[in-house]
Amino acid sequence: MTETVKSINIDVQKKRAGEAVVAKQCDAKSRFLRVTVCSGGTKITVAQDATAVINASRPDGASKSFFCTVNGDGTVTAPLTSWMLECAGVLKCSVSVLGGDGERLTSTTFFVDVEPAEVTDGDIENDENVDVLAELVVECREATGAANGAASAANAAAGTAMSAAGAANEAATSANSAAEAARGVADLKLDKSAVVQETGGGVDVVMSQKAVTEAIAAGDTQGVNLLTGTKDFSGDWLQTGNLRKNSAYNTLTVYSGIDAWSGIYQKFDVTQGETYTFSFFARADGALHCTAFAEPAGGAISSPRTMQFTATTEWKRYSFSFEAVKDAESHLRIESETSGTPFYVCGYKLELGKVKTTVWTPAPEDVVTSWRGAGFHNSIFRGKYLGDAVTEAQYAAISAGTFDDMYVGDYWTINGVNWLIAGFDYLCKTGDTETAEHHAVIIPETGLYNAKMNDLNTTAGGYALSQMRTQNLDEAKETVNAAFPGHILTYRGLLTNAVTDGHPSGDAWFDCEIELMSEVMCYGTQFYSAVANNGVTAPDAHTIFRTQLPIFRMRPDMLTGRGTNFWLQDVCSPTYFCIAGMTGDAVAYLASMSLRVRPFFLIGG
């Protein structure tokens, strides 16, 4: 099959200039975009473990998202799928980079001019890319041989989105007691962080955070929860004094009450002429007549105004659709009609449109906070110049843990030194006294000066008691404190302080500020560093620096020392300490050699 790939640059800060991308209506499985994502004109290297999607809005108003392939050079290959090219006209597109915890960074809009096809009477075969917002399919089969007379139990098969490379999402199996007899009848294939629950009348699939992120990326408001704080009833909820929080149902906080007409609700302004669907989970300790309202008491703002139902002892998801007859404030809530029988509610959702099968998802506002933070900012290498000093706003963002507009590889040039961001929150929750402050890990681009580990060729006393740490880092401390005055964090580090037969044999907790890096921080593993494993004592690396810094994971070329060897803190033998070699190799040198000093440190607010 002949394929065509067009290379384009898109930006997360600036609108794309130049002509639109041109494609042909009805083409399928043949057109791709090789996308370089930039920030203010500077290339963003998309991490290999990140997820990317292309979001498309057709001329007919339909919107979907499709998975892309992240390339080894940090670019993204995006498909122009047959669904995207089904309608002639201008196709609006953007690309989103999605982190593992639901984070998202989206480019500005670019356009694809879809020229009309001369022949359009052929069927367009379905894409190999499944829409990431595709309707979850539920198949129910009768279970036979059910224990204790279980009559019918349901299992579900829910298809999630496949990547453009055809990789299937991880399979997760979920069943409750009512569906126990049907185990093995059907597999549940769903993103593993989603929730699958039996609801009495069938199976309800609660979307994962990943699916929510993709929904937001698609710009598709149908299916998006318009109410906020519905996972745990956080935020502005009214009549909470009449109810109490109960145990959670499938990760959702439950509110329970016993009095009639005391339902918890959140105000929401509906728009005249719009159709909405309100849905929720409910149960009671016995059969209980209830009413779901879409409006405040005495206010006729919707048609229909209410839905009546009978709650049972089994959790079930209920929903009803209504049209707003005027612009007004709605009070969406569930009321029991009689007092005395405890009832329970959770998982409120309001969405646009008339929806047959609705699943709970958090509002975009509830998800967006997780797009800010160490997880997301550690997944993107940008390399942008941030100025000649850290601003108060930047320090505030570090202190808050949001790290706004700072990414791995970004740098400040202060007093002639390029200070690189090597990662975020690397040492959070470590130490015999916990490091609780949010922080950025900073390293110089090159070594600052030359120094010895010890005057003699010995590793006795390990790194902690070496002349490097006790004396020779003083110059680095002066340079660092001059560049970041008042913002160097002190943390508790576990350092080697004894060596036996060439391997570490003891350690202690020390107050640390400016230190040498370790082999693991640089390479992600040990090469020359010795572990205390003499066949008698248990192996012990005597360190808390146990993972690779994000900067070297994404850009190993920045580890080479820029033409110089630099010291690491690891013991190799009775006379050798480890170094990072100028040619990219992991090496060890005699302790009395004079090599470059390239320390790391933490800055906070």
110 or 602: which leads in pLDDT: 602
Query: Is 225 exposed, middle or buried (CB count within 10 Å of its CB: 0-12, 13-18, 19+)?
Result: buried
Q: Does residue 51 register a pLDDT over 80?
A: yes
Check if the beta carbon of residue 380 is closer than 8 Å to that of residue 105. Answer: yes
Which of 161-170, 212-221, 442-451 is predicted least confidently? 161-170
- Would you say residue 458 has pLDDT above 90? yes
Report the DSSP pairing between strands 4-11 and 31-39: parallel
Distance separating alpha carbons of residues 208 and 370, to the nearest angstrom: 14
Using alpha carbons, select from 153, 157, 155 the residue that is nearest to residue 136.
Answer: 157
Q: Which pLDDT score, from 0 to 100, does residue 394 have?
A: 95
pLDDT of residue 468: 98
Kindly state the average pLDDT of the residues 243-267. Answer: 83
Q: In percent, how much of the chain has pLDDT > 70? A: 77
Give me the pLDDT at residue 538, please. Answer: 56
Residue 124: is it exposed, middle or buried by C-beta count within 10 angstroms (0-12/13-18/19+)?
middle
pTM above 0.85, yes or no: no
pLDDT at 130: 33
What is the structure's pLDDT at 202? 30
Which segment of 157-161, 338-342, 467-471 scores lowest on mean pLDDT? 157-161
CB-CB contact of 178 with 157 (8 Å): no
pLDDT of residue 124 exceeding 50: no
Distance between CA atoms of residues 61 and 219, nearest Å: 11
Question: Averaged over 212-217, what is the pLDDT?
Answer: 46
Quickly state the pLDDT bin for 474 (edges 50, 70, 90): very high
Q: Cβ distance 46 to 554 under 8 Å?
A: no
Predicted pLDDT of residue 432: 92
Looking at per-residue pLDDT, the higher value among 256 and 540 belongs to 256
- Report pLDDT digits (tens) over 521-578: 999 988 877 664 454 555 666 777 878 999 999 999 888 755 689 999 999 999 999 9
Strands annotated E in 361-479: 380-381, 411-414, 417-424, 440-444, 450-451
Query: Which of 361, 56, 34 lies closest to 191, judged by CA?
Result: 361
pLDDT band at 509 (very low <50, low <70, confident <90, very high): very high
Segment among 87-96, 165-174, 180-189, 578-587 with least mean pLDDT: 180-189
Residue 237 pLDDT greater than 70, yes or no? yes
> Which domains does the chain carry?
4-115 (2.60.40.3350), 147-218 (no CATH), 240-368 (2.60.120.260), 372-605 (no CATH)
Q: How far apart are CA 398 and CA 382, in angstroms?
A: 17
Owner of token pair 């040198």:
589
Amino acid 531: pLDDT: 64
Q: Is the peptide bond before 304 cis (omega within 30 degrees of 0)?
A: yes
Question: What is the pLDDT at residue 245?
Answer: 75
Report whether pLDDT(296) > 80: no
- In whole angstroms, what is the distance from residue 290 CA to residue 262 CA? 11
